[in-house]
Structure 1
Amino acid sequence: MILTEKQRMTALIITYNEEENIRDVLYNLAFADEIIIVDSFSVDKTYEIASSFPNVKVVQRAFDNFASQRNFALSLASNSWILFVDADERLTQELQKEISFVTSQKDCASAYFVRRNFMFKNKKLRFSGWQTDKIIRLFKKENAIYNDEKIVHEKLIVNGKIGQLKTKLIHYSYSNYENYKQKMVFYGKLKAQEELLKNTNPNFFHFYIRPAYQFLNQYLLRLGILDGKKGVIICYLNALSVAVRFQELKKIRCRN
């Protein structure tokens, strides 16, 4: 592998009420040359905590959807290399070193997938559909943009080669039942907007079969059953998100 001079990198985060996470993730990102947070007017201490870091730029913008918020954050970045993480994600020292190494290669890809370990509270969830989880978190700004039609679980459109990092990202997504449930309900309501754009007309299949399939697929086919009680909870809440999606879609269509 041919190495070049160290390439400057911008770390980006979008936040809303992340006071429990923001300090730790900012400590993790200290190796970046620039750190920018786009906050959706948090009502907790996220803004105050983030602003106390002298190397962090915090911008507030009203939230419309995830893709739009991420693309706005991208527009603020000064550097070519982008490391886009969520506040509940953590980078080990090994991952930080790998990112620094990869971005200094002359023949590097335009973007990189990183695999994630899903943490249920403080323990790794081994199955339940998360065992193959990976997402693009490192990419070149000029070669990528978020698809504005995918307003939740947003997809990065990459022009060029996509590689994969060896070291995993730690994802502290599940802290407690109520928080994760609220997150799944919120995602479900946003997904309803996507279904509306597709002109989906919800019926019995969407209300009952789709949520049931989601649960059974993750619990049986994706081996959630091997995660014990944790697997039941995660698979149920993910199925709940699907149910909420089509219930919300029905409400929207009735209003229009």
Structure 2
Amino acid sequence: MDKSVLTIITLNSPGITNFAMARNELLAKVKTPWVLFLDSDETLSSALESEIDLAINHEPSTIYSAFAIPRLDTFLGRELKHGETGSAQFVRLARRDYGLWIRPVHEVLVPVGARHGSPAKIGVLKNPILHTPHPTIASFLDKINLYSTLEADYRFKQ
């Protein structure tokens, strides 16, 4: 992928308590037209890399301001194909000026204003981000405890 067109940001900082703030700080430093956000436990397949390259370097880039990407979750080595995670899609690929991240945990990229006088259009890519978050039951429980605490704090402040 062309580094003059796309910056890939992988959020990998232990101790983050506000993921949206951390992402927005990194987004403010981006100089390329497009940015892709990944978590430290996510990777791209070669098929997704090719699809992203086509999306941002050819006609779709003139139509869309951002792209939602499906995510394939695995848990203890098994793909999760059903339920909430089976159909999850996230806006992770966007023009640098598309939007800002909100929510301290389970953060979401939301559009700010309109691009070129029209509402932001979001395309959908076919190939998934590969997500392998929990190598052990203990790591799963640790992350659930952290995220539930952050979510409770966020909701309490609302």
Partner of 2:116: none
Alignment of 1:145-156 (within 5 A): 145-147=100-102, 150-156=103-109
Q: Give the distance between the partners of 2:4 and 2:121, measured in 1 at CA.
A: 18
> Alignment partner for residue 36 of structure 2, among 83, 88, 92?
83
RMSD of aligned Cα (Å): 1.9
Residue 123 of structure 1 pairs with residue 78 of structure 2: yes
Q: Give the distance between the partners of 1:174 and 1:108, measured in 2 at CA.
A: 37
Q: Give the distance between the partners of 1:87 and 1:152, measured in 2 at CA.
A: 15
What's the CA shift string for 1:179-202, capped at 9, x where partnerless? Answer: 01110110011111211122xxxx
Q: Is residue 7–residue 103 contact of structure 1 (8 Å, CA) maintained in 2?
A: no
The residue type paired with residue 130 of structure 2 is I
Gaps of 5+ in 1: 1-5, 18-39, 41-62, 199-256
Deviation at 1:174, TM superposition (A): 2.3
Normalization by structure 2: what TM-score?
Answer: 0.86
> Alignment partner for residue 108 of structure 1, among 63, 67, 76?
63
> Alignment partner for residue 151 of structure 2, among 191, 211, 215?
191
The residue type paired with residue 185 of structure 1 is N
Residue 165 of structure 1 pairs with residue 125 of structure 2: yes
% of aligned pairs identical? Answer: 27
Normalization by structure 1: what TM-score?
Answer: 0.54
Q: Is residue 102–residue 108 contact of structure 1 (8 Å, CA) maintained in 2?
A: no
Deviation at 1:105, TM superposition (A): 2.3
Deviation at 1:64, TM superposition (A): 4.1
Q: Give the distance between the partners of 2:36 and 2:85, measured in 1 at CA.
A: 22
Q: Is residue 7–residue 81 contact of structure 1 (8 Å, CA) maintained in 2?
A: no
* Dislocated runs of 4+, deviation >6 Å: none
Q: Give the distance between the partners of 2:126 and 2:4, measured in 1 at CA.
A: 20
Q: Give the distance between the partners of 1:92 and 1:126, measured in 2 at CA.
A: 17
Q: Give the distance between the partners of 1:179 and 1:108, measured in 2 at CA.
A: 41
Higher relative contact order (CA 8 A, sep 6+): 2
Q: Give the distance between the partners of 2:32 and 2:64, measured in 1 at CA.
A: 16
More helix as a share of residues? 1
Alignment of 1:68-79 (within 5 A): 68-79=21-32
Q: Give the distance between the partners of 2:63 and 2:153, measured in 1 at CA.
A: 37
Q: Is residue 110–residue 158 contact of structure 1 (8 Å, CA) maintained in 2?
A: no
Gaps of 5+ in 2: 113-119
The residue type paired with residue 78 of structure 2 is K
- The 1:64–1:126 alpha-carbon spacing in structure 2 relative to 1, beyond 3 Å, is closer
What's the CA shift string for 1:113-162, capped at 9, x where partnerless? Answer: 11111111222122242111111110011111112xx1110111125111
SS in 1 for 2:126: coil
Q: Is residue 80–residue 141 contact of structure 1 (8 Å, CA) maintained in 2?
A: yes
Q: Is residue 74–residue 131 contact of structure 2 (8 Å, CA) maintained in 1?
A: yes
Alignment of 1:218-229 (within 5 A): none
